[in-house]
């Protein structure tokens, strides 16, 4: 099966080569992972089974390319999320040739013996540099075959005035226009599905973006893709993905988490079993709680505070709380561990009971915890999201036989806290 992860890693290394491209520092920051169970994008239903491989296509169609969507209720389309990157490696931050679009279809324009042509009506558009795009990862999950799942880079483009004009219902279309550029070649990402199913991607018969009366369905197998361009119908603010207790001395504690989007603020809260409760808003990714009582059990909580604004709206939304507890127990940040895993900065009672066997592995692995699991996320050693494992109860069994050999970091979340585990996959 063709894997996308090496491609994404190459993209990460290249997109951060120069200061002009540093707006998306994928190597040192943790970005949201979006899936099709989230509610801030609109998705096509039913979702087809994916075909193996061929998830990225280069130069598939220059000019305009649109994906069809149907809204059962009226929605506000704030923008367009597109899973793509630049084949040459650099994401041009000031580029005007790339545009995100929203369209309606006014119906059949004319037809020939073999082709029907439709007249499309533009509703809104925005260029890459004007939209101040936000970066995230999109996890394409194939419910028919887990081996066909993959993660793709995703850029969100927000329109300037969606509350005035972008109230959509029934059928509409979102996508992108790729202009001619010597330094920019778009590589789109999207899972291909069975050729017997109809296509929902449209393109004009001309590369002129101002001609709207000659759109046709692009029905070649190459363009039968699910997703790729999604309508943004809400505001995203994912959880902090990694939260660590760096130190605890009895009268103070240091909590740390990974950087996320540039300019993000964080809500930090500390509650104690003695009834104490304090909260702060900060921009740093480390906070020292002091003074503390060494006889009180504390819980530190951190969440993102995400701000969205145009000339027509100014909205702040919040991510889910991530927690870590400490106090009334002896903290040992150098716990002996014979399984080859990391147990960084977690109280001993919160760590005991975790097992990850066998490790190293080349096949099936069993992860066991004393507390109910709430999430298991897998990252490469470079911090790139690799896979999200289904988590329920106190055990997770998963297969690594198709994973590339190397070291992976597993972020294991339970009601008692978060532990980062290292897993080695061999061949």
Q: pLDDT of 283-314, one tens digit each?
A: 999 999 999 998 898 999 999 999 998 877 88
Q: How far is CA 73 from the centre of its chain?
A: 25
Q: Are 163 and 312 in contact (CB under 8 A)?
A: yes
Three-state SS for 52-116 is CCCCEEECCCCEEEEEEEEEEEEEECCEEEEEEEECCCCCCCCCCCEEEEEEEEEEEEEECCCCE
As a dihedral over the C-alpha atoms of residue 89, residue 199, residue 387, residue 380, rounded to 10 degrees, the angle is: -10
Q: What is the mean pLDDT of residues 174-199?
A: 83
Question: Which DSSP string corresponds to 111-170?
Answer: E-SS-EEEEEEEEEEEEHHHH--EEEEEEE--SS-GGG-EEEEEEEEE-S-HHHH-EEEE
pLDDT confidence bin for 1, thresholds 50/70/90: very low
Rounded CA gap, 427 and 404, in Å? Answer: 8
Judge contact between 208 and 57, C-beta under 8 A.
no
- In the predicted model, what is the mean pLDDT of residues 128-139? 85
Any bridge partners for residue 217, and if so which? 202
Confidence (pLDDT) at 7: 38
> Average per-residue pLDDT in the chain?
81
What does the pLDDT read at residue 52?
87
- Of 82, 411, 117, 93, which is closest to residue 244 (Cα–Cα)? 411
Q: What is the widest separation between alpha-carbon atoms in the chain?
A: 83
**How many whole angstroms from its chain centre is CA 271?**
30
User: What's the distance, Cα to Cα, between the start and end of the chain in Å?
Assistant: 17
Segment 315-338 mean pLDDT: 68
CA distance 211 to 251: 69
- Alpha carbon distance 318, 340 (integer Å): 36
Residues 133-162 have a mean pLDDT of: 89
Within 10 A of 113 (CB to CB), how many other CB atoms are there? Answer: 4
Mean pLDDT of 147-166: 84
The predicted structure's pLDDT at residue 200: 94
C-beta separation of 128 from 99 below 8 A: yes
Q: Which run of H or E residues covers position 348?
A: helix 348-351
What pLDDT, on the 0 to 100 scale, is given for residue 207?
73
CB 360 within 8 A of CB 422: no
Q: What is the enclosing helix (H) or strand (E) of 302?
A: strand 298-309
For the chain, the C-alpha Rg in angstroms (whole number) is 24
How would residue 348 be classed by pLDDT, with cut points 50, 70 and 90? very low
DSSP H helices in 153-248: 162-165
Angle at 299 between CA 297 and CA 305, to 5 degrees: 165
Kindly state the DSSP code that residue 39 receives in the 8-state scheme. S
- pLDDT tens for residues 38-50? 999 999 988 999 9
Please, what's the b/e burial string for 36-64 (b: 16 or more CB within 10 A of its CB; e: otherwise)? bebebbbbeeebbebbeeebbbeebbebb
At 333 the pLDDT is 35
User: ∠ CA 228-6-41 to the nearest 5 degrees?
Assistant: 25
Which residues, at least 6 apart from 378, have a Cβ–Cβ distance to it below 8 Å? 385, 386, 387, 388, 389, 408, 409, 410, 411, 423
* Mean pLDDT, range 80-93, rounded to an integer: 76
Q: Does 352 score more than 90 pLDDT? A: no
Residue 383 has pLDDT above 50, yes or no: yes
CB 135 within 8 A of CB 154: yes
Cα–Cα distance between 212 and 288 in angstroms, integer? 58
């Amino acid at each position: 099966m063709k894997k996308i992860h090496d491609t994404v890693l190459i993209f990460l290394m290249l997109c951060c080569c120069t200061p002009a491209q540093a707006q998306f520092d994928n190597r040192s920051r943790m970005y949201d992972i979006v899936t099709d169970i989230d509610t801030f994008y609109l998705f096509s239903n039913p979702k087809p089974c994916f075909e193996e491989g061929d998830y990225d296509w280069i130069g598939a169609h220059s000019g305009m390319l649109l994906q069809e969507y149907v809204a059962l209720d009226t929605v506000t389309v704030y923008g367009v999320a597109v899973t793509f990157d630049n084949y040459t490696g650099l994401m041009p931050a000031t580029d005007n040739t790339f545009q995100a679009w929203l369209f309606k279809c006014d119906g059949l324009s004319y037809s020939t013996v073999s082709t029907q042509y439709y007249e499309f009506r533009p509703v809104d558009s925005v260029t890459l540099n004007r939209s101040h795009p936000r970066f995230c990862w999109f996890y394409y999950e194939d419910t028919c075959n887990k081996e066909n799942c993959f993660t793709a880079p995703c850029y969100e483009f927000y329109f300037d005035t969606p509350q005035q004009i972008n109230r959509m219902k029934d059928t509409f279309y979102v996508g992108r226009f790729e202009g001619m550029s010597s330094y920019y070649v778009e590589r789109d990402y999207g899972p291909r599905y069975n050729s017997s199913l109809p296509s929902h991607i449209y393109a004009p018969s001309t590369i002129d973006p101002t001609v709207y009366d000659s759109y046709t369905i692009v029905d070649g197998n190459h363009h039968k893709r699910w997703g790729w361009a999604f309508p943004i119908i809400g505001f995203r603010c994912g959880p902090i993905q990694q939260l660590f207790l760096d130190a605890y001395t009895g009268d103070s504690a240091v909590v740390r988490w990974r950087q996320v989007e540039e300019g993000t603020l964080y809500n930090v809260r500390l509650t104690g079993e003695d009834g104490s409760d304090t909260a702060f808003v900060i921009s740093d990714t480390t906070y020292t709680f002091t003074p503390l009582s060494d006889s009180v059990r504390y819980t530190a909580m951190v969440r993102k505070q995400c701000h969205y604004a145009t000339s027509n709206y100014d909205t702040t939304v919040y991510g889910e709380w991530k927690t870590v507890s400490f106090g009334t127990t002896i903290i040992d940040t150098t716990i002996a561990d014979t399984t080859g895993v990391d147990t960084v900065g977690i109280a001993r009672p919160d760590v005991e009971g975790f097992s990850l066997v066998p490790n190293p592995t080349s096949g099936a692995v069993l992860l066991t915890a004393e507390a109910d699991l709430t999430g298991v996320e897998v990252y490469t050693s470079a911090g790139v999201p690799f896979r999200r494992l289904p988590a329920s109860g106190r055990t997770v069994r998963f297969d690594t036989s198709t994973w590339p050999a190397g070291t992976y970091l597993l972020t294991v979340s339970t009601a008692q806290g978060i532990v980062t585990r290292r897993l080695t996959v061999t061949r």
